[in-house]
Amino acid sequence: MSGEGTRVVRAGRREEWTQGIVSPPVWRASTILYESVAALRAGSGRDTHHRLFYGRRGTPTQWSLADALTELEPGAEATFLYPSGVAAIAAALLSVLSPGDELLLTDSAYDPTRGIAEGLLKRMGITTRYYDPMIGGEIAGLIGPATRAIFLESPGSLTFEVQDIPAIVAVAKARGLVTLLDNSWATPLRLPAMALGVDLSILACTKYVSGHSDVMLGSVTSTTEHWATLRDTSFQLGQTVSPDDAWLGSRGLRTMALRLDRHAASALTIARWLKDRTEVAAVLHPALADCPGSEIFHRDFSGGAGLFAFELAAGGEAERAALIDALDLFGIGYSWGGFESLAIPVDPARHRTATRWTRGPLVRLSIGLEDAADLIGDLERGFAAWNAARG
Ligand SMILES: Cc1ncc(COP(=O)(O)O)c(C=O)c1O
């Protein structure tokens, strides 16, 4: 297999879709015209994969991005695109769960994923049991007769615990359960989910795939076994992505390996610098020992990303806000994975039910493509404001 740089450059660029143009252009369509009634009838059916049928089923612009994501995930059958990461998570869950089923959901999950479990799934008669993200193979003890699926997020995008995916997958396979992984942080380039045995790998492509903070996009990549159900559920939900947004996703993808390297290198430099600051109690970066599961990170991941958090040694809400407000290069806003750095306050205690959050409030950083030295200078400004606020 070629190197990852080569793969992201070439993925999804089929010649019949590009016809000599380097990147598949934007094919906008709702209606597709047929030559005759016979051709129209022949074109119908559930499996319209890579065949123009009706705009909702996509055009080469969306197929190209979906195929590229499949090509980057060894062991995958195909990928469905969604208008956001949350839409991808909801569709993936709905494709495997039915009324009466139980879902095991990591306590470290992104809070809107919990929202789906507590809202949509609960209304459908699907129950959720939350589990300690560090549970590993002991998850076997939580499985009951109604348990159908296990949802993982590794590292947790708010608290960064690294889960033992192979141990959880081994239990799931032995008990006939489906595993779903929110792999938005690592992407298949840094964590090949399907090679580790995961059934459905979910990306908020809004983050690193797009990389430029200008588009909402999600994807689910599936094994052969689960593809038909995922595809049919997604068709029934009417999920479709605009070709313009898919094009932005493909454009971002071409530089993803390069960007991840830079995000990861700067994030590690800044995390190590933070570790030596007296203002900081702990740095929750998957590569560093403060972070639960860092040994699993070094075992399973081929590289890092730009998102991590740190815990302040003292002070409260006002001091933390003073630190973040004083930052100039870090914007204050949701999401992550873009070229620009971001900082937000995170209060994990509010989102825990299976485990108790024993650390204090956090500051989460998304490290962008600015120079690490400049970002460190900015954080120094932030700490000066934090110290001043403490009096
Ligand atoms: C880990 C994780 N998964 C999924 C999502 C949802 O993605 P989107 O914002 O595209 O709906 C996010 C968004 O922040 C996220 O952090």
The reported pTM is 0.97
**181 and 226 Cβ atoms separated by less than 8 Å:** no
**82 and 234 Cβ atoms separated by less than 8 Å:** yes
3-state secondary structure of 220: strand
Q: Is 110 a catalytic residue?
A: yes
pLDDT band at 233 (very low <50, low <70, confident <90, very high): very high
Closest to 315 (Cα-Cα) out of 273, 345, 350, 276: 345
The residue contributing the CA closest to ligand 1 atom 6 is 85
pLDDT band at 2 (very low <50, low <70, confident <90, very high): confident
Averaged pLDDT, 324-344: 98
**Using CA atoms in the order 27, 56, 200, 96, what is the torsion angle rounded to 10 degrees?**
180
**pLDDT mean across residues, the chain:** 96
Averaged pLDDT, 313-334: 97
Question: Going along the chain, which residue ranges are E strands?
Answer: 78-82, 102-106, 127-131, 147-153, 178-182, 200-204, 218-222, 280-284, 307-312, 342-346, 362-366
Name residues contacting ligand 1 (CB within 6 A).
84-86, 110, 153, 157, 182, 184, 204, 206, 216, 218, 335
Taking the centre of ligand 1 as the mean of its atom positions, its distance from the CA of residue 39, in whole angstroms, is 41
Percent of the chain with pLDDT over 90: 94
* Residues 103-112: tens digit of each pLDDT: 999 999 999 9
Taking the centre of ligand 1 as the mean of its atom positions, its distance from the CA of residue 337, in whole angstroms, is 10
Q: Is 207 a catalytic residue?
A: yes
Q: Is the pLDDT of residue 47 over 90?
A: no
Q: Is the pLDDT of residue 216 over 90?
A: yes
The residue contributing the CA closest to ligand 1 atom 14 is 335
Q: Cα separation of 59 and 3, whole Å?
A: 28
Taking the centre of ligand 1 as the mean of its atom positions, its distance from the CA of residue 335, in whole angstroms, is 7
Tell me the best of 335, 351, 365, 366 to mutate to test the pocket of ligand 1, counting ligand atoms within 8 Å of each CB and taking the most: 335
Q: Is 56 a catalytic residue?
A: yes
Taking the centre of ligand 1 as the mean of its atom positions, its distance from the CA of residue 205, in whole angstroms, is 8
Q: Is the pLDDT of residue 1 over 70?
A: no
Closest to 198 (Cα-Cα) out of 228, 215, 220: 220
Averaged pLDDT, 227-239: 97
Q: Is the pLDDT of residue 46 over 80?
A: no
pLDDT of residue 273: 98
Q: Choose the catalytic residue: 57, 82, 107, 110.
A: 110
CB atoms within 10 A of CB 59: 20
Percent of the chain with pLDDT over 70: 99
